[in-house]
Amino acid sequence: MMNPTRRDLLKLGATAPLMAAVPKGKADACIFLWLGGGAAHLDTFDPKVRGDGKRKPGSYYDSIETAVHQVRVSEHLKNTAPLLDRCIVMRTLSHDIISEHAAAANLLHTGRKPSGTLTYPSIGSIISHELGPKTEKVPAYVVMGYPNITRDPGFLGAKYGYVYLTQTETGPNGFIRPPDVDSSRQDRRESLLGSMRDNFVRHNPDDPMIRQQAEVSKQGFQLAGPQFMNVFDLKREKPALREAYGEEFGQRCLLARRLVQSGVRFVEVSFNLNFLNGSGWDTHNEGQLNQHLLIQDLDKAFATLLTDLEANKMLDRTLVVIATEFGRPPEFDSGGGRGHHAEAFSGVLAGGGLRLGRALGETDELGKKSTGSVITVPDFHATIHAAMGIDPARNLYAGSRPVPITDRGKPVAEAFA
């Protein structure tokens, strides 16, 4: 082996501080709470002077004190407020996609805008790829909500896709054995399918997609076993705890805790299926009037999730994320609701062994733009990856093409101790 030259040593010395600067967290699982539709930061985690719902811009609700000095939240986050010392509120998330929900949601899930040549993987698929499941008896990645391309594995392939749920108590429909199929009949079916699958793979040795699909098929039968399917028996939990979590979104959060406890790495919990206010988080027009019902549901579920994780000694190793595709402007539309606003909006990180109890970034008096540092979506993703012990600058590979895990994102240093 040749000795390094002086130039080599200088290069190494120049890059060493950059290498050392990448923080590494200790979280080994992530629960990603998705507020699809664009949750109003002014009415949740970045309250401002109160508006009137008509001509005067501002927050729609009063604000309250929290466990963090000089950090206030909406009055409808009364259960979260005393637990904010377990959280980091990132108030200056920003991007430039305003009009399209799908494009903005894709950006928040993949950390990138679409490419003409590549389909990028979602953050859940990346974490699945980098960390894998804790046991082969459970999947690495679960989505509660209907399938959507923004959650897909992209160029990573089907192996790093998700198992999805639309009901909290029955588990994935495809894993439930029909009542007339007993164990011996199921074994015969699996044996027949297995021989056909293996034969097909043997006849197509050069097709990686067929090989991946065969692996996914095998894993499906493993997941249909009791270790994973028993997770969905929420009746094993105390009635008081189930009640504390609240309605459907809350029950999903309870299931997310059980999934993480069973070994799942990444669970997305969708809150864009509950239209309690007529519009979900996309609060145009009359959707604003009953927005507080959504916020109260979020508050109850999120606060209970934090205390439940803490009671199970899981909070330090579980990163909880609240994310949405954009915020809402301080001005009200003609119907009393709000439009879209992507220049500055909020996300929340909780637990995960981070440096908690703070709000990072500050917006102007109406919450329209940052008055200091902007947190880009790649930065937000890089912070999540770093909290999970993943180097956000490391390359993935689309065939032979290197693709960095994030699009030049840098972890927010203040989030780490």
pLDDT in tens, 249-302: 999 999 999 999 999 999 999 997 556 788 899 998 888 999 999 999 999 999
Residue whose structure tokens are 């990346």 = 126
Three-class SS state of 171 = coil
Residues 55/275, Cβ–Cβ less than 8 Å: no
Q: Which DSSP letter does residue 327 get?
A: B
Which pLDDT score is estimated for 37?
94
Q: Is the pLDDT of residue 373 over 80?
A: yes
Three-class SS state of 360 = strand
pLDDT in tens, 307-347: 999 999 999 999 999 999 999 999 999 889 999 999 999 99
Q: Please give the mean pLDDT across all residues of the chain.
A: 87
Residue whose structure tokens are 């109850």 = 300
pLDDT in tens, 54-82: 999 999 999 999 999 999 999 999 999 99
Share of the chain above pLDDT 90, in %: 70
pLDDT winner (highest mean) among 5-9, 37-41, 164-168: 37-41
Which pLDDT score is estimated for 15?
45
The b-or-e profile of 181-211 (16+ CB within 10 A means b, else e) is eeeeeeeeeeeeeeeebeeeeeeeeeeeeeb
Which pLDDT score is estimated for 10?
47
Which pLDDT score is estimated for 7?
52
pLDDT in tens, 200-242: 546 666 656 556 554 544 454 455 556 678 898 999 999 999 9
Higher pLDDT, 222 or 34: 34
The b-or-e profile of 14-45 (16+ CB within 10 A means b, else e) is eeeeeeeebbebebbbbbbbbbbbbbbbbbbb
What confidence category does residue 17 fall into, taking pLDDT thresholds of 50, 70 and 90?
Answer: very low
Three-class SS state of 379 = helix
How far, in Å, CA of 162 to CA of 178, rounded? 23
Higher pLDDT, 406 or 187: 406
Higher pLDDT, 136 or 382: 382
The b-or-e profile of 87-125 (16+ CB within 10 A means b, else e) is bbbbbbbbbebeeebeebbbbbbbbbeeeeeeebbbbbb
Q: Is the pLDDT of residue 48 over 50?
A: yes
- Counting DSSP H helices and E strands in the chain, the numbers are 10, 13
Cα 201–chain centre separation: 34
CATH of span 25-176+224-415: 3.40.720.10
Q: Write out the DSSP string of 80-148.
A: TGGGGGGEEEEEEEE-S--S-HHHHHHHHHHSS---SS--PPPHHHHHHHHH--SSTTS-SEEEESS--
Higher pLDDT, 169 or 243: 243
Q: Is the pLDDT of residue 53 over 70?
A: yes
Higher pLDDT, 119 or 15: 119
